[in-house]
Structure 1
């Protein structure tokens, strides 16, 4: 009987010891997690929690914490990129508004300083004032449009749209500009109708932005084109040119707010830098995507992909 009691006491003692060891290990693991997390947050490092443990609960906790650290790093990187873009945007907005405003103020001073100004010269200056004022209004409207798109404050109901007609009308609306720049248009739109789920107002803005971009940056290639094609699930619209193109390192940046190529600050390339950003937002609101492929002075293509309407 005594041996039985001794055995029971021994077993209970072992259980208590094992529980104590397990509790101590768990306490050490939790202490490590706390100290490591504190160090990571204070130093803003990209480290992760690395701890070897047999405790399944601690393993799950470590995995969850590492996922949160990854999410935090991604959020921090996104915030940093956004901050850089916003600073560049403010600088570019200031530049783009300052240029026409300087002309406006200078022209007004010329008119005020010379009350005996020749009527023809006065009319020329007033027309210049009107033109620059329209540029400023257009720029402000562009900023406002992007703000509405990014706040989802603009609704584009989807309907079944005949893409053939939309594409033809868009390229034809630029006929005079294309001709005056001695550019050869290439139009590849099939005779058989192709339908997509889209919104005509949004499509007009998308295609106008892309065609305007092709003329602005690809005119030196002397050819711009529009191609409409489809497969069983999607409709594809290619707007392309054979100009200087966009280098690969800039492909992911051209759709950012206020991003422009190096020489876009030159007068001949001047623009708000928001056209492609607005285009991307509009395409996404239509449930599609826009892609870029560019080989400088060979072919630069922006492709809009939309769900096809099969009935």
Structure 2
């Protein structure tokens, strides 16, 4: 009987010491978790919390904390990217506005100080001032358009759009210019109507941008094409040329805001680096996607993807 009591007492002490050891270990783990988490947050590192423990509840807590840390790190990276982009944008905006303003002020100074100007010369300078002012206004409108698109303030009504008609109208509006510049034009638009979810005005603007871009940067190839095709879910519009194209290393960047690398095509609006950015934002506002593929002097194609709408 005494031996049995001694065994029970020993077992009880064993349980107590085990529990004490576990509590101490858990306390140490919690203390380490707190200190490490504080260090990660303070130093803004990309570390994760790694604690060896058999405590399932603590394991769940660590998993949740690591998910939060990962989300925070992604948010911080996005914020840094946006901040860098905004600084670059402000710098480019300042430059792009300063250039035409300097030209305008130069013309005005000549008009004010040069008394020897003939009436014909004076009118010619006034015409240049007017044209530069229009260019400046157009550039400012582009900045505002991009700001509205990125903020979501620009409401675009989506309806069923006949893609064939919109494409035909837009390519025909450039026909005289293309003929004058000696372009060979290839149009592949099916006779059977294809409908997609979109907005006629915005889609027309997208196509106008891409065709203008192809004319400006595909001039070496003297070839421009437009094709419309579809599958069960999507309608595709290809605008392509055979110009100098875009190198593979730049393809992923041409849609970035303010990307103005000399070899890029993102200079539709007075070198502002806004043309293809606005085009992409418009396509996305239509619920679609836009992609670029390029083999220099063979085929550079911008492909718009819109959700197909059937009868």
- Interval of TM-score (by shorter of Structure 1 and Structure 2): over 0.9
Q: Residue 115 of structure 1 aligns to a residue in which SS? A: coil
Matches within 5 A, 1:208-227: 208-227=208-227
Matches within 5 A, 1:257-268: 257-263=257-263
Residues in 2 aligned to 1:291 and 1:129: alpha-carbon distance in whole angstroms: 38
1:185 matched to 2:185: yes
Match of 1:62 in 2: 62
RMSD, matched Cα: 2.2
Equivalent pair of 1:288/1:304 in contact (CA under 8 Å): yes
Match of 2:296 in 1: 296
Residues in 1 aligned to 2:78 and 2:221: alpha-carbon distance in whole angstroms: 36
Match of 2:166 in 1: 166
Match of 1:305 in 2: 305
Match of 2:87 in 1: 87
Residues in 2 aligned to 1:113 and 1:19: alpha-carbon distance in whole angstroms: 95
Provide the aligned length of Structure 1 versus Structure 2: 311
Moved more, 22-31 or 177-186: 177-186
Moved more, 101-110 or 292-301: 292-301
Question: TM-score when scaled to structure 1?
Answer: 0.93
Match of 1:31 in 2: 31
Deviation at 1:180, TM superposition (A): 3.3
Match of 1:97 in 2: 97
Once the two structures are superposed, residues 101-148 of structure 1 have per-residue CA deviations (whole angstroms, 9 ceiling, x without a partner) of: 111011001111123421111111111111100000000111111111
Residues in 1 aligned to 2:82 and 2:154: alpha-carbon distance in whole angstroms: 23
Q: Residue 218 of structure 2 aligns to a residue in which SS? A: helix
Structure 2, gaps ≥5 residues long: none
Residues in 2 aligned to 1:202 and 1:22: alpha-carbon distance in whole angstroms: 66
Residues in 1 aligned to 2:80 and 2:128: alpha-carbon distance in whole angstroms: 41
Once the two structures are superposed, residues 141-200 of structure 1 have per-residue CA deviations (whole angstroms, 9 ceiling, x without a partner) of: 111111111111111121111100100111122223323332222211111111111111
Residues in 1 aligned to 2:217 and 2:6: alpha-carbon distance in whole angstroms: 92
Residues in 1 aligned to 2:184 and 2:227: alpha-carbon distance in whole angstroms: 14
Residues in 2 aligned to 1:136 and 1:231: alpha-carbon distance in whole angstroms: 42
